[in-house]
C-alpha cells in the first residue's frame, strides 16, 4: 500500500488494548478498502483482533429514509462479507465522535477511512484530538490521493487531468487482501451495539420519511460489483458514443454505490482497463470515474463553500449578477420544482426520474440545473433549489461529485460562453437542443412508465403520461 494514502491524525502511539478499532464511515466495503487492509496489517502486527464499527447518525445532514435504506442494505452485506474474513462489524445509533472515543478506551489504535465533506473532516479531526491512542486515516475513495494529485483548488478538469495521469501508474494497482490473524467474531463488546441485520429503520425517529426507498437500486457491495460487471458486458463497448442520450439510458449506474463507499474506484478502474471494450469507450469512462470525480474531491477539499453559490468563480458571479434584472420566461416556486409542475415535459421527466428511482440521467442533470437558473428569480435562490432537490432525492446526492455537478451548471469548472439573457456568459442549454440531439419522447415515455410501474401518482405524471401518448 502506498504510504501517501496514510495519515496519522494525532501524535499518540499505539497502546496496550483488546483490539484495533476500524471506524468504517466513507468506505463501506470489505474489498479494495485501503483503510481496512491497513487496519488488518496493524492488528496482525500487534497480534490483536480487528473490530469494525459503523455509527448510524440520524442527524446526518439531509439524509432521509431513502439514503438510510440504501446505507443499511450495504452494511448488512458488508457485515456478512467481513464475517468471512473473521472481522466483527457492530453498529450503534449514536454521535460518531463520542462513540469512537468510548470504544477507543479498549483499543490499541483507531483506523478510519477518509471523507472530503465538511462534517466528515470535522468528525475525524475531533475524534483524533480526543482519543488517547494512535489515530490513522487511510484514503481509499480516490484513485490518486487528493493532496498528492494537487495542493490547491484546480480551475477545471484540464488543469487536474495531467497531474492525475502522471501518477496513475503508481496508484491504479491491485490491493492484496490480508488474512486476519486473530478473529474478532467472539469479541464481547458491552453496550447497545447490534449487527446491521438486527436493525429496524423505524428506530430512526427524527429522519425525513417522506422520500421512499428506491425501487431501482439496492445497496451493497455485492450488488455494486454485479452492476459494474453488467455494465462492462452490456453497455461499456459504446459508452463513449451513447452515454449522453437520455432515451437510451446507456449509463453505468454506479454512482450510488460510489457515494456510499460500497465499491472502490480502483477496483472499478482495473475491471474497466482489463475489459475487451474499445479503447475510446474505456478512456471516456475512466475520465469520468477518475479525473472528473476526483476534480470534485479537489473542489470539496480546497473550497469550504462547496455547497454554496459562494464557491463560484469571480467571472461567473459577475456575469450572473449582471443579468439579475433580466426578465425570466417563467418563475416557479420550490413546490413547483419539487413536484415537477413546470411547462417543460423534459424537465419534469428528469425530476420525476430522480424522485422515483433516486437517480437522474447524467445528461439531464445538466439540463435540469440550467433550467432552474432560468426559472428562478435569482441565481442564489436557484443554487439553493438545485442543491436541496438533488440532496433530497438522489442516492448519489450529498456527495462531492453532485456538489461539483450543481456548481458546474453555474459556471464552476467551465469557461465563459456567448452572452445571453439571464445566463450572461454561463453555458446555456435549451429544450430545442435536447430534441434536436435525442429522441426525447422516448425518454419521457420511459420515465412515465417508471412512475406508473411504481405506483407514483402526481398531477405532473398525468400530464407526462398524456405527453408520452401523443
- DSSP letters for 10-48: SSPPP-S-SEEEEE-SS---SSS-HHHHHHHHHHHHHT-
Question: What pLDDT is stored for residue 142 in this prediction?
Answer: 99
Q: Which of 105, 140, 127 is nearest to 17 (CA)?
A: 105
Reading the block at residue 58, the C-alpha cell is: 440520524
| Distances in whole angstroms, Cα of residue 126 to Cα of each of 53, 123, 174 | 17, 5, 32
423-443 b/e with 16+ CB inside 10 Å = b? bbbbbbbeeeebeeebebbeb
Q: What is the mean pLDDT of residues 21-50?
A: 99
For residue 470, pLDDT beyond 60? no
Residue 434 pLDDT grade (very low, low, confident, very high; cuts 50, 70, 90): very high
CATH number at residue 234: 1.25.40.80
Q: What is the mean pLDDT of residues 452-461?
A: 70
Question: What pLDDT is stored for residue 464 in this prediction?
Answer: 54
When the pLDDT of each residue in the chain is averaged and rounded to a whole number, the result is 96
Distance CA 150, CA 26 (A): 21
Q: Do 268 and 120 fall within a single domain? A: no
Query: Tens of pLDDT along 75-121?
Result: 999 999 999 999 999 999 999 999 999 999 999 999 999 999 999 99
For residue 3, pLDDT beyond 80? yes
Question: What pLDDT is stored for residue 123 in this prediction?
Answer: 99
Percent of the chain past pLDDT 90, that is, above it, reads 93
DSSP 194: B
Question: What pLDDT is stored for residue 244 in this prediction?
Answer: 97
For residue 259, pLDDT beyond 90? yes
For residue 461, pLDDT beyond 60? no
Structural domain includes residue 174 = no
Q: What is the mean pLDDT of residues 417-436?
A: 97
The CA dihedral of 37, 39, 45, 48, to the nearest 10 degrees, is -130
Query: Tens of pLDDT along 200-210?
Result: 898 898 899 99
| Distances in whole angstroms, Cα of residue 280 to Cα of each of 159, 255, 277, 284, 374 | 21, 21, 8, 6, 35
Structural domain includes residue 200 = no
Structural domain includes residue 145 = no
| Reported pTM | 0.96
Q: Could you give the strand order of the β-sheet that contains 134-138, starting from the edge strand earlier in sequence?
A: 6-8, 134-138, 107-113, 19-23, 50-56, 88-93
Q: Do 322 and 462 fall within a single domain? A: yes
DSSP 64: B
Question: What pLDDT is stored for residue 48 in this prediction?
Answer: 98
Query: Tens of pLDDT along 386-406?
Result: 999 999 999 999 999 999 999
Residue 213 pLDDT grade (very low, low, confident, very high; cuts 50, 70, 90): very high
Residue 452 pLDDT grade (very low, low, confident, very high; cuts 50, 70, 90): confident
Structural domain includes residue 46 = yes
CB 44 within 8 A of CB 189: no
Domain boundary among 275, 302, 329: 302
Q: Do 270 and 320 fall within a single domain? A: no
Reading the block at residue 466, the C-alpha cell is: 398524456
CATH number at residue 70: 3.40.50.620
Structural domain includes residue 176 = no
Percent of the chain past pLDDT 70, that is, above it, reads 97
Question: What pLDDT is stored for residue 456 in this prediction?
Answer: 76
Residue 134 belongs to what H/E stretch?
strand 134-138
Query: Tens of pLDDT along 359-388?
Result: 999 999 999 999 999 999 999 999 999 999
Query: Tens of pLDDT along 279-326?
Result: 999 999 999 999 999 999 999 999 999 999 999 999 999 999 999 999
The residues near 180 (Cβ < 8 Å, ≥ 6 apart) are 40, 43, 44, 49, 50, 85, 86, 87
CB 89 within 8 A of CB 195: yes
Q: Do 336 and 243 fall within a single domain? A: no
Angle formed by the axes of helices 118-130 and 96-104, to 10°? 30
Question: What pLDDT is stored for residue 453 in this prediction?
Answer: 87
Domain boundary among 86, 107, 140: 140
- Domain assignment of residue 407, given as a range: 309-468
Q: Do 298 and 313 fall within a single domain? A: no
Residue 463 pLDDT grade (very low, low, confident, very high; cuts 50, 70, 90): low
CB 119 within 8 A of CB 400: no
Reading the block at residue 469, the C-alpha cell is: 401518448
Q: What is the mean pLDDT of residues 335-358?
A: 96
DSSP 184: -
The CA dihedral of 155, 152, 33, 226, to the nearest 10 degrees, is 0
Q: Do 378 and 464 fall within a single domain? A: yes
Structural domain includes residue 419 = yes
Structural domains counted in the chain: 3
CB 120 within 8 A of CB 219: no
Neighbours of 415 (CB within 10 A): 13
Residue 90 belongs to what H/E stretch?
strand 88-93
Q: Do 456 and 316 fall within a single domain? A: yes
For residue 462, pLDDT beyond 90? no
Q: Do 234 and 122 fall within a single domain? A: no
Structural domain includes residue 216 = no
For residue 466, pLDDT beyond 80? no
Q: Do 260 and 352 fall within a single domain? A: no
Residues in the chain, total: 470
Q: Which of 232, 297, 235, 305 is nearest to 270 (CA)?
A: 232
Structural domain includes residue 198 = no
Q: Do 326 and 279 fall within a single domain? A: no
Reading the block at residue 362, the C-alpha cell is: 447524467
Amino acid at each position: 500500500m502506498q504510504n501517501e494514502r496514510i495519515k496519522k491524525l494525532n501524535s499518540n502511539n499505539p497502546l496496550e488494548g483488546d483490539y484495533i478499532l476500524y471506524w468504517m464511515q466513507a468506505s463501506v466495503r470489505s474489498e479494495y478498502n485501503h483503510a481496512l487492509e491497513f487496519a488488518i496489517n496493524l492488528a496482525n502486527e500487534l497480534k490483536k483482533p480487528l473490530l469494525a464499527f459503523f455509527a448510524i447518525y440520524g442527524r446526518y445532514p439531509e439524509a432521509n429514509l431513502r439514503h438510510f435504506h440504501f446505507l443499511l442494505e450495504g452494511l448488512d452485506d458488508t457485515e456478512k462479507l467481513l464475517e468471512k474474513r473473521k472481522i466483527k462489524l457492530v453498529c450503534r445509533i449514536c454521535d460518531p465522535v463520542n462513540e469512537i472515543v468510548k470504544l477507543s478506551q479498549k483499543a490499541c489504535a483507531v483506523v478510519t477511512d477518509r471523507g472530503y465533506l465538511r462534517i466528515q473532516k470535522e468528525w475525524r479531526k475531533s475524534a483524533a484530538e480526543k482519543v488517547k491512542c494512535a489515530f490513522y486515516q487511510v484514503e481509499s475513495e480516490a484513485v490518486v490521493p487528493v493532496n498528492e494529485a494537487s495542493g490547491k483548488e484546480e480551475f477545471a478538469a484540464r488543469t487536474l487531468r495531467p497531474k492525475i495521469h502522471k501518477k496513475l501508474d503508481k496508484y491504479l494497482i491491485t490491493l492484496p487482501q490480508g488474512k486476519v490473524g486473530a478473529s474478532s467474531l467472539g469479541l464481547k463488546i458491552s453496550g447497545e451495539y447490534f449487527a446491521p441485520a438486527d436493525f429496524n429503520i423505524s428506530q430512526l425517529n427524527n429522519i425525513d420519511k417522506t422520500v421512499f426507498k428506491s425501487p431501482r437500486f439496492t445497496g451493497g457491495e455485492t450488488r455494486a460489483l454485479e452492476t459494474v460487471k453488467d455494465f462492462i458486458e452490456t453497455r461499456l463497448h459504446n459508452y463513449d458514443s451513447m452515454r449522453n442520450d437520455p432515451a437510451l439510458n446507456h449509463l453505468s449506474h454506479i454512482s450510488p454505490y460510489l457515494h456510499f463507499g460500497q465499491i472502490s474506484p480502483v477496483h472499478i478502474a482495473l475491471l474497466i482497463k482489463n475489459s475487451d471494450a474499445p479503447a475510446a469507450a474505456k478512456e471516456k469512462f475512466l475520465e469520468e470515474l477518475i479525473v472528473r470525480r476526483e476534480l470534485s474531491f479537489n473542489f470539496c477539499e480546497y473550497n469550504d463553500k462547496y455547497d454554496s453559490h459562494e464557491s463560484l468563480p469571480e467571472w461567473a458571479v459577475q456575469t450572473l449578477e449582471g443579468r439579475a434584472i433580466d426578465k425570466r420566461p417563467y418563475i416557479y416556486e420550490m413546490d413547483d420544482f419539487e413536484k415537477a409542475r413546470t411547462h417543460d415535459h423534459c424537465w419534469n421527466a428528469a425530476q420525476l426520474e430522480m424522485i422515483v428511482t433516486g437517480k437522474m440521467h447524467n445528461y439531464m442533470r445538466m439540463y435540469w440545473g440550467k433550467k432552474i437558473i432560468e426559472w428562478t428569480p435569482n441565481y442564489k435562490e436557484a443554487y439553493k433549489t438545485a442543491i436541496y432537490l438533488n440532496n433530497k432525492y438522489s442516492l448519489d446526492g450529498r456527495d462531492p461529485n453532485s456538489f461539483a455537478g450543481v456548481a458546474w451548471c453555474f459556471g464552476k469548472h467551465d469557461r465563459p460562453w456567448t452572452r445571453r439573457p439571464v445566463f450572461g456568459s454561463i453555458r446555456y442549454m435549451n429544450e430545442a437542443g435536447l430534441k434536436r440531439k435525442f429522441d426525447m419522447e422516448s425518454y419521457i415515455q420511459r420515465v412515465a412508465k417508471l412512475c406508473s410501474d411504481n405506483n407514483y401518482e402526481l398531477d405532473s405524471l398525468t400530464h407526462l403520461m398524456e405527453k408520452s401518448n401523443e
